[in-house]
Amino acid sequence: MDSLDNLAKLFARFPGIGERQSRRFVYFLLAADEQYRSSLAKQITSLRAHIVQCPSCYVYFEGAPKSMCSVCANPKVNLKSLLVIEKDADYLSVKKTKLFDGRMFLFGGLVPIVEKDTRNNIRIDELISIIKNRATSEGLEEVVLGFSLTPQGAHTDQYVREQLAKAWADSPVRISSLGRGLSTGTEIEYSDSETLKSALQNRK
């Protein structure tokens, strides 16, 4: 195995990249100019020097070590509401809408439907502890579960509700989930009952 294969193998671990495309990346880099390659390598190397993870919501952002992200650090942030989402990309989507004034929390993944050991990559313990602390000290009143409406997302919603109920039996914190309804592109003819029901209830 030569260095071309070696680099291709590293790229093949990128999300959504197969063997074929990872080789294309290598050929692309071979044909690219020296400056681009060195700039890419340098930024990969120094990535974690500039990007930190918010200790409050776990999002990655550029900032000083141990600092909080712009949402969590905002003095005007609504401390009553916490929106639990899966990942960084969701954080950006929600932030862009400027519609949610509370803090977010990155759960770190979805809970697989079949697997046994679910605690590996997700932050259920951190979430439970944050909810307990903030309900006591910061006036947290509501946790909104904001997972995708896929089978795994629905399963994660249910899992979080169960774990929270187990960990804190008579919690005063209200748990809600994002509302259902027609989303862009939805056709009435192909809608499931749950979607139509919510769409009828939430009409306005």
57-116 residues in contact with its own copies (CB under 8 A) are 60-62, 83, 85-90, 92-94, 96-97, 99-100
The set of residues, in sequence order, having a beta carbon less than 8 Å from that of 177 and lying 6+ positions away, is 144, 145, 146, 147, 157
Of positions 18, 19, 21, 139, contacts its own copies by CB under 8 A: 21
118-177 binders of its own copies (CB under 8 A): 144, 146-150, 153, 176-177
State which H helix or E strand residue 55 sits in.
none
User: How would you label 47-84 residue by residue, b for 16+ Cβ within 10 Å and e otherwise?
Assistant: eeeeebbbebbbbebebeeeebbebbeeeebeebbbbb
Closer by beta carbon to its own copies, 30 or else 165: 30
Q: Give the range of 26-34, 70-78, 132-140, 164-172 binding its own copies by CB under 8 A.
A: 26-34
How far is 98 from 93, CA to CA, in rounded Å?
Answer: 9
Q: DSSP code of 179?
A: P
Which structure tokens are listed for 43? 């930024």
Q: To the nearest whole angstrom, how small is the minimum distance from the Cβ of residue 115 to its own copies? A: 19
What residues from 168 to 197 belong to the interface with its own copies (CB under 8 A)? Answer: 176-197
| Residue nearer to its own copies on the CB measure, 55 or 136 | 55
Which is nearer to its own copies, 70 or 133 (by Cβ)?
A: 70
